[in-house]
Amino acid sequence: MPITKLKTFSMDRRSLLKMTGTMGIGATFIDPETLFAKEQCEFIITDNGEIEAQQSGQTLQFWIDGMHLVGEDENKKVTSFSTLPSRCNITLFIDQQQSPLSYVESVVLMDENNQTLGAKYFDVSMKMHSGHAPYATFEGIALDYTKTYKIVYMLREGNRVSLKTATISNPQLSRFNTTWLPEEMKNDFKQFLAGGNNITPGLISTPFQYYTGNGIDLHCAKGRFTDIGSDGEFSCDIDHMHPDDDDGKHYMRYFIVMDPVGRLLGFHRRDHNPANKSQSYTTVTKKDSPWNAPFNVAKLQIADIRDCPWVQIYTEDVFDAISRSIIRLR
């Protein structure tokens, strides 16, 4: 998943509300940097020079879907399939626990001119099973990939608020990022990404783009959930895109389920089977995912499917495709 660092500011909550008022769409929001310049808030230094997903409150993880209708040709000329601005959905996740003493009260998304594009409001009771603040999703947002956008999380702490800010510069369609995969899985993908089809490492296939000339009929991720338990266990049957070949160079290898921002929920790695000549499926479960040896996930965040409004499923065929689809759960 993409990730960006957070800056933290602190000020009196009532003063902030008095200055910002109600944050409706299109309203101007006074960003914390401006308040700090006017000496109306404090800057809390939290930067330790590293970016790691498990550092609570240090980073903001996000995922952008959409933005398919605007792009560039080989001459860097902007092209479009529509006269409308490219619309997208953006989902945010901050590694912040909700408690009566400290909880995320609101999330604001704004443009370069501090115009509010979207706002979400929470209370202390709104939290994931892990205790984290909920995903914040803004749907149908018109983002310009040449612009910069700002997110502000307001962490309420009694009569004060901590304003955690992050910027997203040049937003693009989020990609399958090997940075956050277990090391052994990452090593497996090196062969695929170095096999002549490494145009952009981590690029995923969609109905709009493929590594090779293969079409959606041959390389399309399809899956269905057969069970989701109250304890977070699940079972998802993911179809094979095609049968295995004879020499082990082109077969369905990885089946992966991720949360809305690209955190792992479960995966299955299968071996080549030349006898598999029929279209079939592989089941991914949380229980059977090899979270232990040989897959070291000590530094990874493992998501909980009970918190996910939708999930991403991926299939990978070793040779020329990583395909994805989305399954909405509620």
pLDDT of 35 higher than 70:
no
pLDDT of 93 higher than 70:
yes
Greater model confidence, 181 or 255: 255
Confidence of residue 92 (pLDDT cuts 50, 70, 90): very high
Look up residue 157 and give its two tokens: 């702490």
Look at residues 189, 168, 163 and name the one whose alpha carbon lies nearest to residue 178: 189
Helix (H, G, I), strand (E, B) or coil at 44: strand
pLDDT of residue 204: 60
Look at residues 114, 112, 167 and name the one whose alpha carbon lies nearest to residue 144: 112
Q: What is the pLDDT of residues 300-323, one digit of tens each?
A: 567 899 999 999 999 888 877 778
Least confident of 2-16, 110-124, 262-276: 2-16
Q: How would you label 6-19 residue by residue, b for 16+ Cβ within 10 Å and e otherwise?
A: bbbbbbebeebeee
Greater model confidence, 255 or 143: 255
Confidence of residue 27 (pLDDT cuts 50, 70, 90): low
pLDDT of residue 311: 95
Distance, in Å, from the CA atom of 208 to the CA atom of 258, rounded to the nearest integer, reads 21
Other residues' Cβ atoms within 10 Å of the Cβ of residue 270: 14
pLDDT of 153 higher than 90:
no
Greater model confidence, 54 or 174: 174
Confidence of residue 227 (pLDDT cuts 50, 70, 90): very high
Omega before 294 cis (within 30°)? yes
Greater model confidence, 272 or 33: 272
Distance, in Å, from the CA atom of 98 to the CA atom of 95, rounded to the nearest integer, reads 10
Greater model confidence, 243 or 40: 243
Confidence of residue 194 (pLDDT cuts 50, 70, 90): very low
pLDDT of residue 225: 94
Distance, in Å, from the CA atom of 38 to the CA atom of 25, rounded to the nearest integer, reads 25
Concatenating the DSSP letter of every residue in 258-285 gives: E-TTS-EEEEEE----TT--S--EEEEE
pLDDT of residue 214: 57
pLDDT of 135 higher than 90:
yes
Confidence of residue 37 (pLDDT cuts 50, 70, 90): low
Least confident of 51-60, 243-252, 267-276, 299-308: 51-60
Give all domains of the chain, ordered by start, each with its CATH number.
Answer: 3-169 (no CATH), 178-328 (2.60.40.730)
Look up residue 200 and give its two tokens: 């952009």
pLDDT of 113 higher than 50:
yes
Strand partners, 61: 3, 93
Helix (H, G, I), strand (E, B) or coil at 83: coil
pLDDT of 294 higher than 70:
no
pLDDT of 152 higher than 80:
yes
Look at residues 180, 185, 202, 187 and name the one whose alpha carbon lies nearest to residue 59: 180
Greater model confidence, 322 or 84: 322
Look at residues 106, 89, 125 and name the one whose alpha carbon lies nearest to residue 260: 89
pLDDT of 45 higher than 70:
no
Amino acid found at 171? P
